[in-house]
A and B are shown apart, each in its own frame.
Chain A
């Protein structure tokens, strides 16, 4: 029985002009374009430099900032107008003010002040960009000090080196952070939600009633809806892995078997959730809205965009019901750290638990609607 139903689903799938193309083209486009856009790096910070001093020292500092590459420079030759005007207009993100007498006070009193104003409406951007700038200034300061000590050797002050080391991703490519997230999003949409929408569509068209009066039992019917999308999902996943390797030279350090195993468990949980929604929704519009609502919650609580540990406690607690949280961790682990199944048992059990919970709920609520 299942075989005929599957045949029907596949025929419907391939008869649709739109869907098969989406399945092939979408992963390519998504992986090619998304990492370009969905990038948390802060670049091209618009920096306005107001140099009241115009000395050799201040020029050297400006040149050093210029060559760092983080900033798009904009210099105010005569700081006549109020310096915040540009920031208010939104034309500049950060202002560095070098006060008059900067060099002189550096030479005479051996210390000088600088002012940095950052537009902090976007707090994260302000924090990172001012940290970049402070770092450059500190480097410059170090250079100056070395020059100074060459001329007048003195007792060297206590010093040590701080060496940052970024494991697994030493060049700090944010693509490595985004691709696992993209994989997860795609799997959630294709294997979790499309089958549910498909079932709701049958309800709306009235063909669901017809299915209900046939001898097909519920499990067979649901499997006939899920299996095609599972297959499609794994095809898409394979294409994504291939594209990530082709375009970004990004391939899991761990085994592919581990990756597929975890994704399979995740898909089981996600389609269970989709089924729950399909039981409650009466129309496509409703189903879309309910899904959209929960996807937003799941995604934001999963640590996809921001580190999970940074979230407030209540959000972390809520985040534990998001299957996306576990799978994103797992995929990042497999891709970047090559973790094995044994090291990720908590995530495996959590995903299994969620899968059983959602699918169990789906079965129970399904019976109810038929009473």
Chain B
């Protein structure tokens, strides 16, 4: 039985390595928070104070009512009026305005009698999603105004009212989607990338050989390398949770214990992935490139944090399924946001455990080969 001292000595050595490099330490601890806040706050689809310009040749009761209702909502701000349609083009070329509202002539009159009144919502299609959202918000508000008019006129035949309920996240906060995503990204980054780089560095400097000829078993050396990163990940996990609960106001609705269990399993998967990479990579640069290109990039692109996976071609959807982080993110959403229990994530837990087993076996094999 190995005595406890060499192991703790090795762990201490690893900590020295990490903390001696001020910049890296700082970034390891601050970057997760930055990412969370940026993604949580900056990535939002909410329309706020979109600037509207109005071209209103009729200036009657109905148009005034529509304009006032838009102004009253928090989504829009009436910036002013334009007098001709030619002006619109030049204004859009400079940017700054969200939408131009163009009413047809004799709007009220036509609306009440012929039903031929028109209102054009002109948006800047160079950002399709924004254009679409602004148009939809405006359409909904204008639709509400016409309902009021109709109510004053008597009943309308055949009304279908659809009641939309947003489950789990009634106010449509962006954080509900980004917090699990950032967790997956950060744990992956720290456990897999950092471990692989730190082992690759020992190889590059030649110190790995020295460590391997010491009486300490190789497995102890490897394990001691992982301990600091496990600790740092746990710290990050806690700060992310605190930030998301108190700053982003994303509550943890599920069982906290189950959540940590899940996180530990994922940390284990990431670590074994990092070990596998370090067994293959000979230099820091290669380890960095492999973890950057094969792990970080797919996680950012294919995890659904920013781009919806379902809209991608089938090949990429399939590819998304072999990324461990995606299974973790999926399970975190269930536990944290939807508040579901063990039964709901048993499938994800099984997949992650399977991946862990496979990765450990593969990296053990890769290490053996190297020692032969």
Contact = CB atoms under 8 A, between A and B. Distances in A.
A46 B309 CA distance: 12
B277 to A, nearest CB: 15
A289 B129 CA distance: 32
A52 B302 CA distance: 37
Nearest to B37: A315
Interface in A93-140: 93, 106, 110-128, 130-131, 133-134, 137-138, 140
A37 B44 contact: no
A32 to B, nearest CB: 12
A163 B313 CA distance: 31
A13 interface: no
B361 to A, nearest CB: 29
A38 B288 CA distance: 23
A317 to B, nearest CB: 12
Contact of B316 (A37, A123, A134, A297): A37
B157 A110 contact: yes
A101 to B, nearest CB: 13
A160 B41 contact: no
B214 interface: no
Interface string A64-88: 0000000000000000000010011
Most buried by B among A121, A130, A154: A121
A210 B311 CA distance: 53
A164 B121 contact: yes
A162 B119 contact: yes
Contacts of A173: 128
A321 to B, nearest CB: 14
A114 B160 CA distance: 7
A36 interface: yes
Contact of A167 (B116, B124, B310): B124
A93 B166 CA distance: 11
Interface residues of B, number: 105
Contacts of B116: 160-161
A307 B130 contact: yes
B23 A41 contact: no
Contact of A166 (B24, B94, B123, B301): B123
B139 A309 contact: no
Interface string A14-51: 00000000000000000000001111111111100000
A160 B139 CA distance: 12
Given A42-B308, A111-B161, A343-B93, A167 B122 contact: yes
Contact of B121 (A121, A138, A163, A174): A163
Most buried by A among B135, B150, B311: B311
Given A128-B132, A154-B157, A88 B45 contact: no
Contacts of A174: 128-129
A124 B306 CA distance: 10
A123 B173 contact: yes
Contacts of B123: 164-167
Interface stretch (B27-35, B222-230, B235-243, B265-273): B27-35
A114 B42 contact: no
Given A37-B302, A44-B310, A126-B169, A145 B158 contact: yes
A312 interface: yes
Contact of B42 (A87, A110, A158, A300): A300
B344 A158 contact: no
A40 B308 contact: yes
A122 to B, nearest CB: 4
A144 B160 CA distance: 10
B124 A121 contact: no
B304 interface: yes
Contacts of B94: 339, 343
B158 A46 contact: no
Contacts of A111: 158-161
Given A116-B163, A160-B118, A337 B126 contact: yes
B165 A115 contact: yes
Interface stretch (B2-10, B331-339, B349-357, B364-372): B331-339
A113 B123 CA distance: 32
Interface in B76-114: 89, 92-95, 98, 107, 110-112
B146 interface: yes
Nearest to B112: A158
A285 B288 contact: yes
Contacts of A155: 153-154
Given A121-B168, A164-B139, A329-B95, A300 B162 contact: no
A70 B66 CA distance: 30
A207 interface: no
Contact of A36 (B43, B160, B312): B312
A148 B131 CA distance: 34
A46 B310 contact: yes
B1 interface: no
Given A90-B330, A307-B127, A165 B122 contact: yes
B167 A148 contact: no
B168 A119 contact: yes
B107 to A, nearest CB: 7
Contact of A315 (B38, B50, B133, B310): B38
B301 A37 contact: yes
A245 interface: no
Nearest to A340: B93
A128 B131 CA distance: 12
Given A288-B288, A293-B34, A339-B93, A166 B142 contact: no
A218 to B, nearest CB: 23
Most buried by B among A118, A148, A159: A159
A113 B176 contact: no
A41 B311 contact: yes
A124 B45 contact: yes
Nearest to A302: B42
Given A166-B128, A307-B130, A37 B307 contact: yes
7 contacts: A117-B165, A127-B45, A128-B45, A152-B157, A167-B124, A300-B43, A333-B95
Interface of B: 21, 23-24, 27-28, 30-31, 34-35, 38-39, 41-51, 89, 92-95, 98, 107, 110-112, 115-133, 135-136, 139, 142-143, 146, 149-150, 153-170, 172-174, 176-177, 197, 201, 284-285, 288, 301-302, 304, 306-308, 310-313, 316, 330, 333-334, 337-338, 340, 344
Given A160-B118, A305-B43, 10 more contacts: A43-B308, A46-B310, A123-B173, A131-B136, A157-B156, A164-B120, A168-B126, A170-B125, A176-B128, A309-B98
Can you list the 4 inter-chain pairs with the closest CB atoms, starting with the nearest? A169-B125, A166-B125, A123-B172, A160-B117
